[in-house]
Amino acid sequence: MAAQSPLVVAHLRGLAELATLEPADVAAWQAARLDRFRRRWLSAVPHYRRSPEYLRGELSELPVLTKETVRQAADSFTHPFVPARKVTTGGTGGRPLDLRISHPSFFTEWAHIAHVWARAGVRLTDPKITFRGGSLGEGFAGRPILFQRTYNQLLVSPFHLSDRTFDELALMMRDFRPVAIWGYPSAITPFARWVARTGPHAGLRGVRGVLLASEGAFDWQLRLFEEVFEAPVIRWYGQSEKVVFAGECAQHRSVYHVMPTYGIAEVVEGRIIGTGLTNAAMPLVRYDTEDAAAPLEPTVNRCACGSPFPALRDIRGRWDQSLVYGVDDEPISTAALNFHDNAFARFDRIQFRQEHRGKVELRVTATRRPAPHDLELARQLLQDRVGDRLAVSVSVVETADLVTQRGKALVVDQRYRPTETTANTPTRRGKPSLSTSGMGRRPGFRQSTER
Ligand SMILES: [Zn+2]
C-alpha cells in the first residue's frame, strides 16, 4: 500500500525538513525545483514545446491556462513517455475533463495527505472510519459497511447513512478502535448527530482527528464534529488536476499553508492559479483551478503555527456542498456520485435536479443525441451507486435549460427541502446551539452550486 511505500516515507521526511527552513529559503528551494521540472519535462509536451518561454521565461508572465483549453486538447498536454493513469473529473459547467496522472504523483499525494494528518497524530496506516464514495462499487456487495485492509478502514457507504447502519458500525468499532473519522462533511454529519443522540461510545474514545476533504464544510459542522468526537478537524485543499495542495493552519481557521513540494500557487484576479510539480504525465503550468481565494500575501515571517509556507485564505470553490436528499431525507453529497466512468463522457454537461424526496433526475446535454441504451447505462450506473436511497432518472435537455444567465451550469438544481423535524436533531449534551436556522435550511432555502 501507498502508506508503506519508500517514496511516501522519503517525501514525508523531505516535507518535514522543508518546514524547518525560513520562508526565503523555502522560496529559493521551490524556484530551483520549478526550474528543474520545466527543463526536464516540458520540452517533450506538445503545448509547451512550441514556445521557449515555457522553459525559461518568468512564470508570472506566461499565459493562464483554462480548464476548457485542457479539456479540448488533453493530448497536447500529455507527456508522450510518462506512464499514467487516466482520470475523468468535472470540468467547467459539468463537462467532463480527462486527465493523466503519473504513478509517482499518486504516491506524492499520499505523502502530502500524511503530512497534514500528522498534525493530529494520525498516520495513514491507523484505523479509520471512512465516509467516502470514491471507492464505492462492487466491493460493497449491497452491504453498507466494508472493511478495507489496504487502508485499514471501515468504509461506510454515503448512501446508507441510517440508524441501522450506525448500530452495526458501533458493534464493529468496539474492537476496531478507530483513531480518525475521514470523509465528506455531508456524510459525517448524520453519523455525528447519531453519536450525539446515542453516545458516548467507548469505541470512539481513541479518535484523534476528523479528516475532511473534497468539499467545503459549514461552520456548524466543524463545531458539531469537534464537540461530538472531541478531536480537532483537519482540513486540506487539493484538486484532481494536482497543481496545488494546502493544509489548514493549526492556529487560524480557513488559512491554508501551500506545500512547496507539490505546486506553486498564485492568486490572479481572485482565482487560484496553480503550477503543479508532481505530475510529469500531464504538466499544467499556470492552470486556472476556478477556485477563489483572497490575494496571496508575501511570506516574510513564519506563521504563528510555525509554518514557513505561504498561505491561501478564504478558499471558495467548486467544492461547495451540493446535496441531494435520500428517501429518509438523509443528505447525500454529489461528490460521492463521482462520474469516473466512460459512460458519462458522452455527455457535454450534467446536472442533478431534485424536486421530491428520494428522487433525483440526472439532466444531460449532448451535441449528438445519445442513444436510449447509453442513457439507460448511465442511469443504471448511478442507480447501482445509490442503491435504494434514491430513485434515479435520466433525461436529455437543451443546454439553455442547464446554464445560468452567467453561462455557468448548476451542478445541483435543488428544489426540494427536507422537513424540519428530520433536519433538526439534538446534540449529545442537548445544547440548543445547532438550531435549524443554523443549518442553512430556512424556509425557501434553495441550494445550488456553480462549477
Ligand atoms: Zn499557520
382 and 302 inside one domain: no
Q: Which of 313, 340, 362 is the last residue of a domain?
A: 313
Grid coordinates belonging to 355: 424536486
Q: Tens place of pLDDT for every residue, the chain, 451 residues? A: 566 678 888 888 999 999 999 999 999 999 999 999 999 999 999 999 988 899 888 999 999 999 989 999 999 999 999 999 998 876 655 567 899 999 999 989 999 999 999 999 999 999 999 987 644 444 466 678 989 888 899 998 877 778 888 999 999 999 999 999 998 887 788 899 899 999 899 999 999 999 997 566 777 788 899 999 999 999 999 988 999 999 999 999 889 999 999 999 999 998 999 999 999 999 999 999 988 889 888 888 999 999 999 999 988 765 455 678 888 877 777 766 766 667 777 777 778 889 899 999 999 877 778 889 989 998 998 888 888 888 999 999 887 777 654 444 567 887 887 664 444 333 333 333 332 222 332 222 233 333 3
Q: Is residue 15 part of a domain?
A: yes
CB 244 within 8 A of CB 272: yes
In angstroms, what is the span from residue 306 Cα to ligand 1's centroid?
6
In angstroms, what is the span from residue 119 Cα to ligand 1's centroid?
12
DSSP per-residue letters across 333-357: EGGGS---SGGGTT-SEEEEEEEET
**Which has the closest alpha carbon to 98: 65, 134, 77, 71?**
71
For residue 384, give its domain range. Answer: 323-450
Contacts of 384 (CB under 8 A, 6+ apart): none
404 and 445 inside one domain: yes
Report the largest interatomic distance among the alpha carbons of the chain, rounded to a whole angstrom. 64
Q: The domain that contains 245 carries what CATH number?
A: 3.40.50.12780
280 and 357 inside one domain: no
Contacts of 139 (CB under 8 A, 6+ apart): 146, 148, 155
Q: Report the distance separating Cα 390 and Cα 378, nearest Å.
A: 15
In angstroms, what is the span from residue 302 Cα to ligand 1's centroid?
8
In angstroms, what is the span from residue 70 Cα to ligand 1's centroid?
33
In angstroms, what is the span from residue 247 Cα to ligand 1's centroid?
9
In angstroms, what is the span from residue 252 Cα to ligand 1's centroid?
6
110 and 242 inside one domain: yes
Q: Which of 281, 313, 345 is the last residue of a domain?
A: 313
22 and 98 inside one domain: yes
Q: Which of 313, 335, 366 is the last residue of a domain?
A: 313
In angstroms, what is the span from residue 248 Cα to ligand 1's centroid?
8
Domain count, the chain: 2
297 and 430 inside one domain: no
105 and 23 inside one domain: yes
425 and 281 inside one domain: no
Backbone φ and ψ for 300, nearest 5 degrees, come out as -95, -50
Q: The domain that contains 387 carries what CATH number?
A: 3.30.300
